[in-house]
């Protein structure tokens, strides 16, 4: 369901990128891994949904595996799994077709279980202050290019970059457009800690136990 925001110029659709191949985890959906007794996807959705006018999932394969969430599942529109830019484009296309009042998309990966509650607001502020069309998150001096804010109006430019220019790196395309940065501290917990390996799962569970209100 799409909520309506009186501040239409800031209305934002959340896109959870859940289409990764999880090679370092032995394959499968990382989103279903339990952190502190709750799946990573549930944690991400709980943080993102209150900040957005709607949320969708980007994932390839059988969408029925996410049916319990109640959210729309949108596959890449570009073939051969070219990476997160394809998922971002899928979100931009979905917004243009199904939520034309929404001008912005915020993308997050499904393996960041500790996302900040002020993510969307601060990305909008960073974009506005930098005078750029895009904004991404940063913590401890390290950028997180997939945790970012994207204008729907740039979807055709992104499609051209993917299909015609063979651009695959998020950073490369963002640099073409211009990007602001919203900075968070990485202590006591990095809000963009992402789970890529079994060791990361163990670390995330320790964090969840130590900071249950995070």
Q: Is residue 214 part of a domain?
A: no
Q: Is residue 18 part of a domain?
A: yes
Q: Which domain holds residue 144?
A: 8-208
Does residue 64 surpass a pLDDT of 90?
Answer: yes
Per-residue pLDDT, 6: 38
Per-residue pLDDT, 27: 52
Q: Is residue 1 part of a domain?
A: no
Q: Is residue 69 part of a domain?
A: yes
Per-residue pLDDT, 131: 97
Q: Is residue 131 part of a domain?
A: yes
Per-residue pLDDT, 7: 46
Per-residue pLDDT, 213: 85
Q: What pLDDT, in 10s, does the model give residues 75-107?
A: 999 988 889 999 999 999 999 999 999 999 999
Per-residue pLDDT, 33: 94
State how far the Cα of 124 lies from the Cα of 147, in Å rounded to an integer: 12
Q: Is residue 62 part of a domain?
A: yes
10 Å CB burial of residue 205 (0-12, 13-18, 19+) is middle
Q: At residue 13, what are phi and psi to the nearest 5 degrees?
A: -100, 130
Is residue 110 classed as helix, strand or coil in its secondary structure?
A: coil
CATH number at residue 200: 3.90.550.10
Q: Is residue 72 part of a domain?
A: yes
Q: What pLDDT, in 10s, does the model give residues 166-180?
A: 999 999 999 999 999
Does residue 51 surpass a pLDDT of 70?
Answer: yes
- pTM of the prediction? 0.92
Per-residue pLDDT, 132: 97
Read off the pLDDT of each residue in 108-135 and give the average, rounded to a whole number: 97
Task: Give percent of the chain above pLDDT 90.
Answer: 86
- 25 or 126, greater pLDDT: 126
Q: What pLDDT, in 10s, does the model give residues 6-21?
A: 344 689 999 999 975 5
- 27 or 170, greater pLDDT: 170
State how far the Cα of 27 lies from the Cα of 148, in Å rounded to an integer: 25
pLDDT averaged over every residue in the chain: 92
Number of compact structural domains in the chain? 1
């Amino acid at each position: 369901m799409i909520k309506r925001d009186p501040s239409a110029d800031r209305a934002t659709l959340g896109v959870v990128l859940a289409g990764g191949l999880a090679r370092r985890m032995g394959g499968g959906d990382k989103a279903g891994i339990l952190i502190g007794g709750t799946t990573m996807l549930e944690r991400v959705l709980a943080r993102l949904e209150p900040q957005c006018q709607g949320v969708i999932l980007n994932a390839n394969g059988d969408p029925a595996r996410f049916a319990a969430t109640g959210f729309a599942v949108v596959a890449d529109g570009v073939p051969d799994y070219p990476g997160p830019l394809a998922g971002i484009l899928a979100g931009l296309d979905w917004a243009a077709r199904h939520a034309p009042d929404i001008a912005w998309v915020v993308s997050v990966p499904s393996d960041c279980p500790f996302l900040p509650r002020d993510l969307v607001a601060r990305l909008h502020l960073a974009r506005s202050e930098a005078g750029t069309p895009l904004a991404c998150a940063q913590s401890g001096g390290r950028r997180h290019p997939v945790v970012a804010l994207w204008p729907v109006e740039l979807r055709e430019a992104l499609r051209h970059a993917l299909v015609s220019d063979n651009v695959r790196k998020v950073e490369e395309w963002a640099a073409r457009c211009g990007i602001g940065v919203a900075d968070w501290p990485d202590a006591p917990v990095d809000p963009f800690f992402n789970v890529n390996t079994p060791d990361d799962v163990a670390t995330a569970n320790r964090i969840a136990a130590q900071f249950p209100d995070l």
